[in-house]
Amino acid sequence: MMCYQLWSHLEKEANVELYRCTGLLVMGPEQGDYQVFKSTLERNKVPIVILPKEEFSQHIPHGNAALVDTTAGVLYVDRTIKTVQVIKMNVCYWREKVPGSYNVQHRFPCFIQLDMMASQQELGE
């Protein structure tokens, strides 16, 4: 999926671990929300492993089913927010070609962003 590729690219660019793939065990009554969850994963071609009942029937209630989403994991939100903030600032700020050419008295660059939705579309998010 595209999001995992983007996290990986950002991790390499910033040299920080943002996401750790752990897998996710999903289990529940076969006819309830489990079926909706399973159908959604299959429709979106997410790699899953459906566990045979023999492998888990001693440990969960009768009538339940189980699967493992092999792409799921932990996103370190605090690190991610800090990293994205730095990357975003790099987009908005630049180095002066001539030191001191941009200052309060002379052509000071200021930005005011009023419409965040418009800016997200312009940045290709």
pLDDT for the residue 61 = 81
Q: Is residue 47 part of a domain?
A: yes
106 located within any domain: no
Percentage of the chain exceeding pLDDT 70 = 73
* Total domains, the chain: 1
Mean per-residue pLDDT for 49-57?
85
Q: Are 73 and 21 in contact, with CB atoms under 8 Å apart? A: yes
For residue 78, the number of C-alpha atoms closer than 13 Å in the C-beta half-sphere is: 0
**How confident is the model over 27-42, as a mean pLDDT?**
92
Question: What are the phi and psi torsion angles at 39 (to 5°)?
Answer: -60, -40
CA angle, corner 86, sides to 83 and 89, nearest 5?
150
Full-prediction pTM beyond 0.75?
no
Question: pLDDT per residue over 60-119, tens digit each?
Answer: 788 889 999 999 999 999 999 998 887 766 555 556 777 777 666 666 666 666 665 555
- CA 120: distance to chain centroid? 16
Establish if 50 belongs to a structural domain.
Answer: yes
Q: Domain limits at 16?
A: 2-93
Residue 122, domain member (yes or no): no
**15 falls within a domain:** yes
Residue 124 resides in a domain: no
Within-domain flag for 64? yes
**CATH code for the domain of 59:** 3.30.9.10
